[in-house]
């Protein structure tokens, strides 16, 4: 039996058919921007394996940090103990997050970083003797697969079987230049009439719903209004964080500072899963009293795993290097030129870019949902050309590792043009 046959007998891959292929590909190793199969086929990972591998695969500095940490302290429970990688990483993150961020809380992945943020915000009010049930979120959002994260996300194909079990959320429409004033009125009305605990959002770019971008000044306006009414603002930077949209954080584009940040994905540069929720001093103070019942009752076995934190410290060094800054603007510049070249193509409904993201939406007379027929066309077309792009209905996007070369970007753009010429 080969690896795929063995895989089929023992592993459930519910996502694979959604991509328009029957079986997963067996990957033997990965290096730089490439995933390598057993027979030596090299696939250009233009989505950083779902927005994770910031500096490519198996980066020597990250691999070294992981190996050294594994050999000295691989794990210790984070209740009653602490360690150097966790402390160093927390200090590093606080040095780049907005000044109002006071403490780092560790968890395991993006969804749990969001769960923690939501629980923090609910309990913040509870500890103050004020039970607030409502959260405001933006239509089309994706914040993760766990129940709290699903509650504040788009109620669609992904949540249908669970909708009755999700908590109550007030959704505002996705902001566009045409509807901003209406959305703002709705937002104000919710805040004035409901007991709102928090406002959660993907800042500037909604990732999983198709790299949809909205106006940063408008986001600023929403946050300022919510904060003027003492509502905790949660920036889910799981996708946008760590340079993805040009600046270190999406919130670096705005002037107000959210109260809580959720981070994951690029945090460790892809070597390990790790989640972070940071918050202000004011939030922390609601939990620190003599009454133990008021402490934050949330903890995971793998919280602040030393190997994951060490990988994140190594990734942070790479991220904050001058080389990385140069790469970020180089990629954005390349996207800009390509955008100018193909915009207006009759098959393109919309094309947008920001930082390292480039997304193309195609005209289709068919269903453009996640389950659309177009997935059977898009993903396999690029994969045959040894390029991994992410399809979403009638849309495809790239979000490459920062080490991708101009030549490799050109290869992707050429393939897109070939697809357009079909």
* Binding-site annotation: residue ranges: 50, 110-111, 142, 236, 265, 299-301, 390
Cα–Cα distance, 319 to 226 (Å, whole number): 32
**Parallel, antiparallel or unpaired: strands 101-107 and 134-138:** unpaired
Tokens of 7: 């895989």
Nearer to ligand PMP, 30 or 239 (CB): 239
Cα–Cα distance, 413 to 350 (Å, whole number): 16
On whether the CB atoms of residues 18 and 371 are closer than 8 A, the answer is: yes
Residue of 20, 110, 175, 401 that binds ligand PMP (CB under 6 A): 110
* Residue 69: CB minimum distance to ligand PMP, A: 21
* Residue 13: CB minimum distance to ligand PMP, A: 16
Nearer to ligand PMP, 267 or 286 (CB): 267
* Residue 51: CB minimum distance to ligand PMP, A: 7
**Which residues, other chains included, contact 378 with Cβ-Cβ below 8 Å and sequence gap of 6+?**
20, 389, 391, 396, 419
Beta bridge partners of 263: 276
Nearer to ligand PMP, 92 or 111 (CB): 111
Residue with tokens 């996705």: 174
Residue 106 found at the interface with ligand PMP (CB under 6 A): no
| Residue nearest to ligand PMP as judged by C-beta position | 110
Site string for ligand PMP, 220-239 (x = CB under 6 A): ----------------x-xx
Site string for ligand PMP, 250-279 (x = CB under 6 A): --------------x---------------
Edge-to-edge order in the sheet of strand 27-31: 27-31, 34-37, 42-45, 387-388
Q: Alpha helix (H) ranges present in 11-152?
A: 48-51, 60-72, 84-96, 110-127, 147-151
On whether the CB atoms of residues 366 and 21 are closer than 8 A, the answer is: no
Coil, helix or strand at residue 306: helix
Site string for ligand PMP, 184-213 (x = CB under 6 A): ------------------x----xx-----
* Residue 297: CB minimum distance to ligand PMP, A: 21
Q: Which residues are annotated as a binding site for substrate?
A: 50, 142, 265, 299, 390
Residue of 30, 90, 114, 307 that binds ligand PMP (CB under 6 A): 114
Stretch (H or E) spanning 75: none
Residue of 142, 171, 201, 362 that binds ligand PMP (CB under 6 A): 142
* Residue 248: CB minimum distance to ligand PMP, A: 16
Q: List the interface residues with ligand PMP, window 22-51 (CB under 6 A).
A: none
The torsion region of residue 94 among left (phi > 0), alpha (psi -120 to 50) and beta comes to alpha
Cα–Cα distance, 337 to 327 (Å, whole number): 15
Nearer to ligand PMP, 55 or 143 (CB): 143
Residue of 111, 209, 303, 356 that binds ligand PMP (CB under 6 A): 111
Number of neighbours of residue 231 by Cβ within 10 angstroms: 23
Cα–Cα distance, 117 to 114 (Å, whole number): 5
How many residues bind ligand PMP (CB under 6 A)? The answer is: 14
Nearer to ligand PMP, 142 or 242 (CB): 142
As a whole number of Å, the CA-based R_g of the chain is 22
Q: Which residues bind ligand PMP (CB under 6 A)?
A: 109-111, 114, 142-144, 202, 207-208, 236, 238-239, 264
């Amino acid at each position: 039996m080969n690896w795929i046959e063995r895989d089929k007998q023992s592993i459930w891959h519910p996502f694979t058919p959604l991509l328009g292929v029957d079986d997963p590909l067996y990957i033997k190793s990965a290096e730089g921007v490439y995933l390598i199969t057993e027979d030596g086929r090299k696939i250009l990972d233009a989505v950083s394996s779902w927005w994770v591998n910031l500096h490519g695969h198996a980066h020597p500095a990250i691999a070294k940090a992981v190996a050294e940490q594994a050999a000295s302290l691989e794990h210790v429970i984070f209740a009653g103990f602490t360690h150097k990688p966790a402390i160093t990483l927390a200090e590093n993150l606080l040095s780049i997050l907005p000044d109002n961020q006071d403490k780092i809380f560790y968890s395991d992945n993006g969804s749990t970083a969001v769960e923690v943020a939501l629980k923090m915000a609910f309990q913040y009010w509870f500890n103050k003797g004020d039970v607030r049930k409502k959260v405001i979120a933006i239509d089309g959002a994706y914040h993760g697969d766990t129940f709290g994260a699903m509650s504040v996300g788009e109620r669609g194909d992904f949540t249908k079987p669970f909708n009755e079990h999700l908590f109550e959320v007030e959704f505002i429409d996705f902001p566009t230049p045409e509807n901003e004033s209406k959305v703002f009125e709705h937002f104000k009305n919710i805040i004035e009439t409901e007991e709102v605990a928090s406002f959660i959002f993907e800042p500037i770019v909604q990732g999983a719903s198709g790299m949809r971008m909205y106006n940063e000044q408008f986001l600023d306006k929403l946050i300022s209004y919510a904060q003027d009414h003492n509502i905790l603002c949660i920036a889910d930077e799981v996708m946008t964080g760590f340079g993805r949209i040009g600046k270190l954080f999406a919130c670096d584009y705005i002037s107000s500072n959210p109260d809580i940040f959720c981070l994951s994905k690029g945090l460790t540069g892809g070597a390990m899963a790790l989640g972070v929720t940071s918050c202000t001093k004011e939030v922390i103070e609601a939990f620190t009293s003599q009454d133990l019942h008021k402490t934050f009752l949330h903890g995971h076995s793998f919280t602040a795993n030393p190997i994951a934190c060490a990988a994140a410290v190594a990734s942070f060094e790479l991220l904050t290097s001058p080389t990385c800054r140069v790469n970020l603007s180089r990629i954005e510049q390349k996207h800009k030129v390509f955008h100018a070249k193909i915009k207006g193509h009759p098959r393109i409904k919309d094309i947008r870019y920001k930082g390292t993201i480039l997304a193309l939406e195609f005209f289709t007379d068919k269903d453009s949902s996640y389950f659309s027929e177009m997935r059977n066309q898009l993903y396999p077309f690029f994969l045959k050309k040894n390029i991994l792009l992410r399809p979403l209905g009638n849309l495809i996007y790239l979000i490459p590792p920062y080490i991708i070369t101009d030549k490799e970007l050109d290869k992707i753009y050429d393939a897109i043009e070939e697809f357009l010429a079909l």
